[in-house]
Amino acid sequence: MSSPSRAAGDTIHAPVGALARFLRRYVFSTDHKIIGLQYFFLALLAVTVGMILSLLMRFHLVWPAAHLPFVAGGIMTPEQYLAVMTMHGTIMVFFVLTTAPQSAFGNYFLPLQIGAPDMAFPRLNMLSFWLILLAFVVMMAAFVVPGGAPISGWTAYTPLSGLGEIAGPGEGMGQSLWAFSILIFCVGSLLGSINFIATTIDMRAPGMTLMRMPLTVWAWFVTAILSLLAFAVLFAAGILLVLDRVAGTSFFMPAGLVVNGALQTNGGGSPLLWQHLFWFFGHPEVYIAILPGMGVVSHILANFSRKPVFGYRAMAFAICAIGFLGFLVWGHHMFVSGMNPYSGLTFSLLTVSIGVPSAVKTFNWLGTLWGGRIQFHSPMLFAIGFVSFFVTGGLSGIFLAQPAVDTTLHATYYVVAHFHIVMGVAAIFGILAATYYWFPKMFGRSMNESLGKIHFWLTFVGVYCIFMPMHFVGIAGGIRRYADSTGAAYLAGLQPLHRFMTIAALVTAAAQVIFFCNLFRSLRRGAPAAVNPWNGTTLEWIAGSPPPADNFSGRFPSVYRGPYEYSVPGAASDFWPQNIPPGLNPGESTEQRYAG
């Protein structure tokens, strides 16, 4: 148990100044809630950077001669465009989509939802965060070193990423910093995932059986297992890449490379090896980003439909099935890579199979809404938006899962549209739903509902306006990662679509300003929140808002039933918290028993 170390962390030895107290409580904290918030605010910073980078790209694609802020020289060069694109992808995948749903909300709410006082290893938890923060600083440093940020994309395909400066601007120090940052990030993620797994297995409250865990906990648990297996492989791949770059090895370099007119001395390596290792991590990474969102959405749909999750067991098994199958499909990123075509067919069939548990989730979300009493608060709107995006983006993936069809769509904007909707925006909607839902718990105050709804509408419609037309650009052959969207003659006809998408992106980004204003204003001025403002059933809603240092003020709960007992027949109230012993009136609210 970790409470002794937590208590020690909170003890303030006199005499200490206010600064020292602040540092100890909010900066060098071992409290899972503070660490969760640290991840949350890091992800907010990262998403802001990532979004600005995406706007710079969208601007450049339709107004290539425009003077842009943050761009050295004002007018973006091709190498600057590729650097911005590489950093956008890297920052969003690692420091937003991996950090916010799992590390931020998982850290904050997993111990609360299983009735634990903290994570299993609080100091390891703190170390994980500091490593991720260090990785972020190292990644940002790539912008300011000579040559600038790398231009090889977030996938960093070798030999381009392994050759060094000779391969292009940004491929010197910038690419090295990228690789170092990823290595540090891997270590941080591995430590974090061990902590999540140990906590879920070991620290559940009495009565909290696996089949009584909220689906959020299931999602964080399975995601942690994915992280443990996937980041380990990325770490190994990263080490080999660094060795190729700095130690003259040739893990990913074949013999006879002639780069920029100069014969290289490498030999014996395979460029496809990097792709296999990278995507062995990279595809599970997609599920690392989206599974926590699926958990959050199931949780919220039940709460605001006032109904149990439809097919809870099937939902839990579907999370496990997606996690398992997620490790068997990496080759679908490599249909045109030169991989054996028979492997392509195998990966294709495995990939379409993953559509089955995904469809089970979608049907069960609809089943959860069906017959409910749906209350459209901001978290619910974002959860419904998630379902819509997941359907759209999931189905467009069925095209890409087939090697024959992928042969025409690969590396076009169709792919960009697909993964942005299904893993980018859907995951972001999971994060936003979680933020609106748990804000009262995390900060003891409520966010403004009207601003939340405006934020939802502008973002939901805006995202579809950005990414639906993008499919058609791809079908017509519009190629991604082009600094000049009219690079080939036939692309010129697609510029009107590009202009429309850029304007939609500007409006959507502006809507995020509303979110940030709402968030930061509500931190100080939001209406004080009750302990259980949404009449939820799970254990986080019996803790204070915000929860005290040990989460439950010493009265650790026991669990008597499943997590989604809403509208139970015969009950006086429409929710039956997990911790109320049988026999007590289900209508008796948690607040009456535990508030104060």
Partner 1 sequence: MVSSLLRSRGSASPALPLAIFLCFFVAASVYAFVARLYPSPPPISEDAVLVDRQYALTLYITGAAFILAQLGLAYAVLRFRDRGQKAKFIRGKIALEILWTSVTLVAFVGLGIAGRNAWAGARFTPAAPDSIQIEVTTNQFVYTFRYPGADGKFGRLDPSLVNAPAGNPLGIDPNDPAGRDDIVVSDLTVPVDRPVELLLRSQDVIHNFFVRELRLQQDTVPGMVIPVHFTPNGTGRYEIVCTQLCGLGHSTMHSHLNVVSESDYVNFLKRQAFVQ
Q: Which is nearer to partner 1, 487 or 548 (CB)?
A: 487
Q: Binding partner 1 by CB under 8 A: which of 228, 232, 327, 355?
A: 355
Q: Which is nearer to partner 1, 236 or 259 (CB)?
A: 259
Q: Which is nearer to partner 1, 9 or 440 (CB)?
A: 440
Instruction: Examine residue 65 and tell whether it contacts partner 1 (CB under 8 A).
Output: no
Subset of residues 230 to 259 that bind partner 1, contact rule: CB under 8 A: 254-259
CA angle 294, 540, 98 (to 5 degrees): 40
**End-to-end CA separation in angstroms for the chain:** 25
CA angle 213, 219, 221 (to 5 degrees): 80
Subset of residues 420 to 459 that bind partner 1, contact rule: CB under 8 A: 440, 446, 449, 453, 456-457
Task: Centre a 10 Å sphere on the Cβ of residue 13 and count the other Cβ atoms it contains.
Answer: 7
Instruction: Examine residue 546 and tell whether it contacts partner 1 (CB under 8 A).
Output: no
Q: State the nearest-atom distance from the C-beta of 372 to partner 1, in Å.
A: 5
Subset of residues 515 to 544 that bind partner 1, contact rule: CB under 8 A: 527, 529-530, 532-535
**Going residue by residue from 367 to 396, which x/- string records binding to partner 1, judged by CB under 8 A?**
x-xxxxxxxxx---x--x--xx--xx--xx
Subset of residues 119 to 178 that bind partner 1, contact rule: CB under 8 A: 151-153, 157, 159-160, 163, 167-169
How far apart CA 351 and CA 330 sit, in angstroms, is 9
Using the contact rule CB under 8 A, the part of the chain among 124-132, 238-246, 473-481, 507-515 near partner 1 is: 473-481
Q: State the nearest-atom distance from the C-beta of 367 to partner 1, in Å.
A: 7
Pick from 48, 51, 56, 42: which is nearest to 133 by CA? Answer: 42
The one-character DSSP state at 532 is S
Using the contact rule CB under 8 A, the part of the chain among 31-39, 188-196, 399-407, 417-425 near partner 1 is: 399-407
Instruction: Examine residue 352 and tell whether it contacts partner 1 (CB under 8 A).
Output: yes
Task: Centre a 10 Å sphere on the Cβ of residue 122 and count the other Cβ atoms it contains.
Answer: 24
Q: Binding partner 1 by CB under 8 A: which of 201, 202, 210, 407?
A: 407
Q: Which is nearer to partner 1, 20 or 356 (CB)?
A: 356
Q: CA dist 200 to 221, 224, 226, 536, Å?
A: 7, 10, 14, 21
Contacts of 535 (CB under 8 A, 6+ apart): 303, 573, 574, 575, 589
Sign of CA dihedral 193, 519, 509, 422: positive
Q: Binding partner 1 by CB under 8 A: which of 58, 88, 204, 410?
A: 410
Q: Binding partner 1 by CB under 8 A: which of 75, 141, 236, 345?
A: 345
Residues contacting partner 1: total by CB under 8 A: 129
Q: Which is nearer to partner 1, 153 or 229 (CB)?
A: 153
CB-based contacts of 64-68 (< 8 A; 24+ apart in sequence): 64/484
Q: Which is nearer to partner 1, 10 or 79 (CB)?
A: 79
Instruction: Examine residue 319 and tell whether it contacts partner 1 (CB under 8 A).
Output: no
Instruction: Examine residue 547 and tell whether it contacts partner 1 (CB under 8 A).
Output: no
The amino acid that residue 439 corresponds to is: F
Q: Which is nearer to partner 1, 312 or 419 (CB)?
A: 312
Q: Which is nearer to partner 1, 27 or 488 (CB)?
A: 488
Q: Which is nearer to partner 1, 32 or 498 (CB)?
A: 498
Pick from 405, 252, 418: which is nearest to 336 by CA? Answer: 405
Q: CA dist 16 to 22, 28, 45, 315, 406, Å?
A: 10, 15, 30, 50, 63
Q: Binding partner 1 by CB under 8 A: which of 272, 454, 506, 507?
A: 272
Longest dimension (CA), the chain: 82
Q: Binding partner 1 by CB under 8 A: which of 399, 444, 514, 556?
A: 399
Task: Centre a 10 Å sphere on the Cβ of residue 408 and count the other Cβ atoms it contains.
Answer: 12
Subset of residues 4 to 43 that bind partner 1, contact rule: CB under 8 A: none
Instruction: Examine residue 64 and tell whether it contacts partner 1 (CB under 8 A).
Output: no
Question: On the CB side of 375, how many CA atoms lie within 13 Å of its CA?
Answer: 13
How far apart CA 317 and CA 319 sit, in angstroms, is 5
Q: Which is nearer to partner 1, 10 or 165 (CB)?
A: 165
Q: Binding partner 1 by CB under 8 A: which of 55, 82, 230, 294?
A: 82
Instruction: Give the pair of three-digit tokens for residue 267.
Output: 């030999």
Contact 219, 261 (CB under 8 A): no
Instruction: Examine residue 411 and tell whether it contacts partner 1 (CB under 8 A).
Output: yes
Q: Which is nearer to partner 1, 248 or 487 (CB)?
A: 487
How far apart CA 166 and CA 172 sit, in angstroms, is 8
Using the contact rule CB under 8 A, the part of the chain among 50-58, 289-297, 416-424, 587-595 near partner 1 is: 587-595
Q: Which is nearer to partner 1, 199 or 351 (CB)?
A: 351
Instruction: Examine residue 68 and tell whether it contacts partner 1 (CB under 8 A).
Output: no
Contacts of 258 (CB under 8 A, 6+ apart): 264
Q: CA dist 261 to 166, 266, 368, 473, Å?
A: 10, 15, 62, 35
